[in-house]
Amino acid sequence: MANEIVEKVTDHGHGSWVAVADKLRILAGAARYDVSCASSGSSRNSPAGSLGNVVPSGICHSWAADGRCISLLKVLFTNFCVYDCAYCMNRRSNDIERAAFSPSELADLTISFYRRNYIEGLFLSSGIIKNPDYTMELLIRCVKLLRENHGFAGYIHLKAIPGADPDLILQAGKLADRLSVNLELPSQQSLNLLAPDKSKVSIFGPMKRIRDWSLEYNPPAGKQRLVSYSGITALTSAPARHQPATRPVFVPGGQSTQLIIGASPEDDRQILTLSESLYKKMQLKRVYYSAYIPLNHDSRLPDIQPPPLLREHRLYQADWLLRFYRFSVDELFENGPPLLDNDFDPKIMWAMRHPEFFPVDVNRADFESLLRVPGLGMISARRIVQARRVGRLSIEDLAKLGVVMKRARYFLEAPGSDSGTLGLDPVRLRQRLLAVEPPVLKPKQLTFEDMTGFQPEIFKDAVMGQF
Amino acid sequence: MQIIRYDGSFYGLISALVPFLKQRRLPDAVERENQQQPLLAIAETEPQTDAISVASGNLHDAELFRIPGISRETWQNAWYAFLSEEKNIELRLARYLLLALEKRGSVDAYQADERVRSIHRLARQVGVERHRFMGLLRFRSIGSNLYYASINSDTFVLPLLAPFFVRRFAGQQWIIHDRRREVAAVYNLKTWTIIERKSADIPPDASEESAAQHLWQCFFDSIAVRERLNLALQQKCIPKKYWHDLIEKPGR
């Protein structure tokens, strides 16, 4: 049956909208476990005659019933797959509804959504149909239609299919704003066990190449490009009337990856060490963490349990500290177990292990030290630095600046601060912080039993992609 | 008593305030003519006037806004705060701008000062709502290459949204209808302008529209992960006041 459909994909057949709706239901359902939906980090102006643009901040267009932002039309090109990865609901051995778009169908759907301001662009991934090269070619064909025939200058996130020919990945990168290769499992052993068709080499190979091409095609950090290269992809198709002398861009939004959390035994420190090296060595823009949701019954996988949403949340918080707050993984886990604290965010966890660092003087401390204070974020720290230029800041002033003092007051020193609350021993600090901390943070930790009307059939429907 | 009157536009307000600012004093009161239709005056007389270029940051062509001590950032804050339509915004702006002259350009660092803080807060509020509508605004096809969107915003974000959608959808004609203020931004492939439009004046959809809406609803339902259902978080991200104009139906 798969082959029949494969042949259908290659012609430019166009189903009625009812048929498209059916495919959309199946293929969006199959894509929903991919957590990335960012449309940020890239920038693209629209040259005359083209459609759309990309704003660096990214834009959320809606929020789904799970509270996650919808920014891109996130679908699989097809959920047919020749692989049999244990954790994946699209694996070959699952008996589920299968479907495939045709490139023109999906391109038209994207444009129709974009023109109505439903989306920022397209996030296209796919099961492996026939072989990696063939799959990659189909994705490229669809994206080419968008960029060249429709003059689409919105955001495109493409999956680089592991094992596809490097030339195809290069071609894809010139069309897309972001490429991603999903690592899924944090170690070679886990990959061997749970995704025997994938290997570390087939994942890190393309990742490295994408990094090297990015360096080659995009100017090194800190150097401004002299000529704007906006909408270059639209230019490749336009008749060579006014082709500016610029090089083509290669994934201006960089690359990202995803790790499944909880399907394999790695601890938080191992996972974050991996992320840190991906940021540093592979120059990834984002690592996404996806709490493992058991979709298949497989002896190699842990039993059914609620997805570890709190752990996922803590990992994101720690990831934030690595990327924006200049923490290192070694620092975070110094003098403690290789696990993040369930009760507190990782910054508080670090602060409680480092009483010698506090209190921090609001009027003297440098920006980096302010960033290390629990309760102070980028915005608060920046406001403090800006405001203290024109006068000494007291504790009351901080509140006026909009600094949330709930946690920060235990760590900050300024005129008016209560010396009784400062310089605490870790035990008392823990008690005081617990008193202000809501016991469970968002996203809400849900168990299946908590869900209204939970029934085993729903669980099965989730596997089949029928919501 | 020194009472100044202005036409309801930002440009009009600043024109009336400048003589006072130059003498380092405040008017006693500011009255707005045309209470019903804020900003309409500019749109009628000069479609792309200075107030609009403040929004896009093109201050160089606005002689009026060239006042030593008032930076671009300060003008931007003032313009955004003005669009909040907060009560007595005129006098608050006057105090803020006067302080800016006093502080010679560094006024926005005085974030603990109430005069600065309130303007920043209002400007942020308008900025947030603008960004929200950049995502939540929904166009419906009402004809050949003609699209219509209807909004009901707390603040007057329409003059901020229009330039954004001109850049994004330069090749399609569109109307963005602010039902609360009974005005609409209209783009005709060349320029955009703000005109009056009754809140009940809502055009019928084109024939292909219902299929597109159905497909979007279908995508919206399929993309949610049931195991992570979190309707409270969804509602926090899309407050209920915005649901009316959405195509998708949150809360299910």
Within 358-397 of A, beta carbons closer than 8 Å to B belong to 383, 386-387, 389-391, 393, 397
Give the Å distances, CA to CA, from B141 to A38, A138, A221, B150: 27, 30, 42, 12
Contact A72, A110 (CB under 8 A): no
Report the side by side order of strands in the sheet with B173-178: B140-143, B146-151, B173-178, B183-187, B192-196
Computed from CA positions of residues A457, A462, A466, A467, in that sequence, does the dihedral angle turn out positive or negative? positive
Q: Where are the beta strands (DSSP E) in A224-348?
A: 255-261, 286-291
What's the complex ipTM? Answer: 0.89
Contact A20, A109 (CB under 8 A): yes
What confidence tens digit (pLDDT) does each residue in A378-416 have?
Answer: 888 988 998 898 889 988 888 888 888 888 888 888 887
CB neighbourhood size of A222 (10 A): 5
Contact A289, A261 (CB under 8 A): yes
Beta carbons of B234 and A446 less than 8 Å apart: no
**Is pLDDT of B51 > 50?**
no
Within 12-71 of A, beta carbons closer than 8 Å to B belong to 17, 20-21, 24-26, 28-29, 31-33, 45-46, 48-53, 55, 57, 59-71
**Is pLDDT of B58 > 80?**
no
Instruction: State the angle between helix axes of A103-115 and A17-31 in degrees (0 to 180), rounded to the nearest 10.
Output: 90
CB neighbourhood size of A47 (10 A): 20
- Count chain A–chain B contacts defined by CB atoms under 8 A: 189
* pLDDT value of residue B45: 31
Within 2-41 of B, beta carbons closer than 8 Å to A belong to none
Q: What is the mean pLDDT of chain A?
A: 81
Helix (H, G, I), strand (E, B) or coil at B178: strand
**Is pLDDT of A458 > 70?**
no
Quote the DSSP letter at residue A448. Answer: G
Beta carbons of B224 and A45 less than 8 Å apart: no
- Mean pLDDT (whole number) for A341-355: 89
Q: A460 CB near a chain B CB, below 8 Å? A: no
Higher pLDDT, residue A333 or B45: A333
Question: Chain A residue closest to B130 (CA)?
Answer: A59
**Is pLDDT of A447 > 90?**
no
- Mean pLDDT (whole number) for B181-196: 92
Give the 3-state DSSP-derived string for A41-74, with helices as H, strands as E and coil as C: CCCECCCCCCECCECCCCCCCEECCCCCEECEEE
Higher pLDDT, residue B70 or A453: B70
Confidence band of A87 (pLDDT split at 50, 70, 90): confident
Q: B247 CB near a chain A CB, below 8 Å? A: yes
Confidence band of A438 (pLDDT split at 50, 70, 90): low
Confidence band of A9 (pLDDT split at 50, 70, 90): low
pTM of the model as a whole: 0.83
Q: B211 CB near a chain A CB, below 8 Å? A: yes
* pLDDT value of residue A373: 92
Give the 3-state DSSP-derived string for B71-122, with helices as H, strands as E and coil as C: CHHHHHHHHHHHCCCCCCHHHHHHHHHHHHHHHCCCHHHCCCCHHHHHHHHH
- Mean pLDDT (whole number) for B121-128: 95
Q: B169 CB near a chain A CB, below 8 Å? A: yes
Rounded Cα–Cα distance for residues A315 and A355 (Å): 23
Of A211-225, A270-284, B96-110, B133-147, the one with minimum mean pLDDT is A211-225
Beta carbons of A53 and B227 less than 8 Å apart: no
Angle at A308 between CA A306 and CA A312, to 5 degrees: 155
Within 75-134 of B, beta carbons closer than 8 Å to A belong to 103, 106, 108-112, 117, 131, 134
Angle at A318 between CA A313 and CA A324, to 5 degrees: 120
Helix (H, G, I), strand (E, B) or coil at A263: coil
Q: B250 CB near a chain A CB, below 8 Å? A: yes
Beta carbons of A307 and B228 less than 8 Å apart: yes
Question: What are the helix and strand counts (H, E) for chain B?
Answer: 9, 7
Within 281-320 of A, beta carbons closer than 8 Å to B belong to 291, 293, 307, 309
Question: Chain A residue closest to B234 (CA)?
Answer: A67
Within 171-200 of B, beta carbons closer than 8 Å to A belong to 171-172
- Mean pLDDT (whole number) for A217-235: 47
Look up residue A79 and give its amino acid: N
Of B109, B211, B224, the CB nearest to A467: B224
Strand partners, A260: A290
Rounded Cα–Cα distance for residues A211 and A388 (Å): 41
Looking at the complex, report in whole angstroms how far the Cα of residue A166 sits from the nearest Cα belonging to chain B: 31
Rounded Cα–Cα distance for residues B159 and B181 (Å): 12
Mutation target to probe the B interface, by most B beta carbons within 10 A, among A17, A117, A392 is: A117
Question: Chain B residue closest to A25 (CA)?
Answer: B222
At residue B150, φ and ψ (nearest 5 deg) are -125, 130
Contact B210, B227 (CB under 8 A): no
Q: A113 CB near a chain B CB, below 8 Å? A: yes
Helix (H, G, I), strand (E, B) or coil at A259: strand
Question: Chain A residue closest to B210 (CA)?
Answer: A17
- Mean pLDDT (whole number) for B222-241: 89
Confidence band of B250 (pLDDT split at 50, 70, 90): confident
* pLDDT value of residue B8: 83
**Is pLDDT of A439 > 70?**
no
Confidence band of A60 (pLDDT split at 50, 70, 90): very high
Mutation target to probe the B interface, by most B beta carbons within 10 A, among A27, A116, A380, A452 is: A116
Helix (H, G, I), strand (E, B) or coil at B174: strand
Place of tokens 């995508």: B219
Strand partners, B5: B31
Within 123-142 of B, beta carbons closer than 8 Å to A belong to 131, 134-141
Rounded Cα–Cα distance for residues A307 and A64 (Å): 18
Within 237-276 of A, beta carbons closer than 8 Å to B belong to none
Residues on chain B touching A116 (C-beta within 8 angstroms): 138-141, 147, 212, 216, 247
Q: What is the mean pLDDT of chain B?
A: 85
* pLDDT value of residue A23: 95
Name the helix (H) or strand (E) containing A136.
Answer: helix A132-144
Residues on chain A touching B218 (C-beta within 8 angstroms): 21, 24-25, 28
What confidence tens digit (pLDDT) does each residue in B133-169 have?
Answer: 999 999 999 999 999 999 999 999 999 999 999 999 9
Rounded Cα–Cα distance for residues A232 and A411 (Å): 50
Computed from CA positions of residues B220, A25, A54, A224, in that sequence, does the dihedral angle turn out positive or negative? positive
